Structure 1
């Protein structure tokens, strides 16, 4: 656990320029100043300082010529940064020459820390590999948190031999893509998808998703009710199509048809690393920066402390639009009432 510090002030001897006293504070000390930019900017500055007085002061002892502690306030009114995200603190965003050389050698050699994998292989009648499934510990943990809804996609084709990359993915609480598991599909039959869904269920401690989105495919449609009959099966909609396209575009930067099996796994680890780094970065920002509340209402101030930045901004936009909405017409047809409303979106009435 840790936090960053900054220099609050220092007193110097006017003649020798020697520092006679100095105070260090956590970089979240004091309150955020007024943002002097246009209040209607789309990306307002997030608030970092949260108004508390943790500090450490020293002064020069004229007799001994050494600095001594003269004031120390330990209390923090915010969460400290966990060990796995300390390197993101402003005071830790530098590496030594030795560390830089180690990073360079690691990248050149392709060496990476290996995670514990759940790896399953399906063989055909000639004892040849037909399909491969894998999930690591972090994928399984992510599924336990965010796996109520799953998007299964095999539209990303790795090569001209029709070998498809299959992925079980969804959004996390930062609206970032989270990967639950992956597969290499050498054939796409009912039997293969049935095997795949059974292995997926086994790896996830037999917790079936409540809803699964897939593209339209007869083999998938037959396999789902066999393995997970209580799961709602839906075809891709706008949001899932966007998720699929963005994730496939992301894969193109790392995976190509020239990779053999070992190279594929090595490059896929880079995909996982990039996605997980983004989540760590979002978690760090969440713990250190407060979302900008555009209207100081009790409701917005409460949810700002609970929601992630992305979800809060979506909620706040909907909330602001709701209070700017007015009813301009009403039609009664006996059994129901139809309201015509006017709202303001981006400064324009609709």
Structure 2
């Protein structure tokens, strides 16, 4: 079935062909819906790996163009991209100037790969919000937040903020306390 789909044959036509060859639908062992779901899962894996490769290529290109651009990625046991963080030169300068306090919030919608958007925001001397770095993380777990906060510190020159404003996510609070040891955590409602 997979080979037929790769050849451009629609899943329903593949299913009909296989059932004809087997003599009857009962002889196949799976339904049309099973076949469709299988093909969709296979396509999603291909798209994800293709999108991940495209993202890595873009990040690498950006780093060649701007030697101050930094990024880090996190992969799972199967070497699939699970999370990434990036920060450019201007963001590093803005954080150095205005990074005494930053706002971190992951309450934004999940993207199509179920990754939470995690922006880091500071406020400048004109009371304007400035985006200084961003990530997409696989799931809101302590180890993921610890990785993200450690990566942020590494790429931002190890400067700990004085205060951090977040929502009431308990998992995030634990990670903040582990990584930002000299910062105060404040809840933003």
Q: Do Structure 1 and Structure 2 share a fold, with TM-score over 0.5?
A: yes
Structure 1 unpaired stretches of 5+: 1-111, 238-350
Aligned to 2:159: 207
1:197 pairs with 127, 149, 154, which one?
Answer: 149
Query: Is contact 2:138–2:144 with CA below 8 Å preserved after alignment?
Result: no
**2:88 maps to what in 1?**
136
Does residue 178 (structure 1) correspond to residue 150 (structure 2)? The answer is no
CA apart distance, 1:129: 1.0
- Partner SS for 1:126: coil
Paired position in structure 2 for 1:241: none
Equivalent of residue 170 in structure 2, options 218, 223, 236: 218
- The correspondence of residues 55-66 of structure 1 with structure 2, limited to 5 A, is none
Match status 1:118 vs 2:70 = yes
Runs of 4+ residues deviating >4 angstroms: none
TM-score, normalised by the number of residues in structure 2: 0.62
Whole-Å separation in 2 of the counterparts to 1:204 and 1:146: 12
Farther-moved stretch of structure 1 (218-227 vs 159-168):
159-168
Q: Alpha-carbon deviations, 1:214-258, whole Å to 9, x = none?
A: 111121111011111111011114xxxxxxxxxxxxxxxxxxxxx
CA contact (8 A) 2:106 2:118 kept: yes
CA contact (8 A) 2:115 2:137 kept: yes
Q: Within 5 A, what are the aligned runs for 1:263-302?
A: none
Residue 98 of structure 2 aligns with which residue? 146
Offset from partner CA, 1:113-151 (integer Å, 9 cap, x none): x54420100111221111100000100000000000000
**Alignment partner, residue 168 of structure 1:** 120
Matches within 5 A, 1:31-50: none
User: 1:180, CA displacement in angstroms?
Assistant: 1.4
1: CA distance, partners of 2:112 / 2:120: 23
Match of 1:229, SS state, is coil
Report matched runs for 1:218-257 at 5 Å: 218-237=170-189
Q: Secondary structure at the match of 1:196?
A: helix
Return the structure number with greater relative CO, CA threshold 8 A, min gap 6: 2
Structure 2 unaligned regions, length at least 5: 1-61
Supply the RMSD in Å over aligned alpha carbons. Answer: 1.7
3-state SS of the aligned residue for 1:122? strand
More strand by share: 1
Distance in 1 separating the partners of 2:111 and 2:156: 29
Find the residue that maps to 2:84 and give its secondary structure.
Answer: strand
Output the TM-score relative to the length of structure 1.
Answer: 0.34
Note the C-alpha offset of 1:158.
Answer: 4.1
- Number of aligned residues: 125
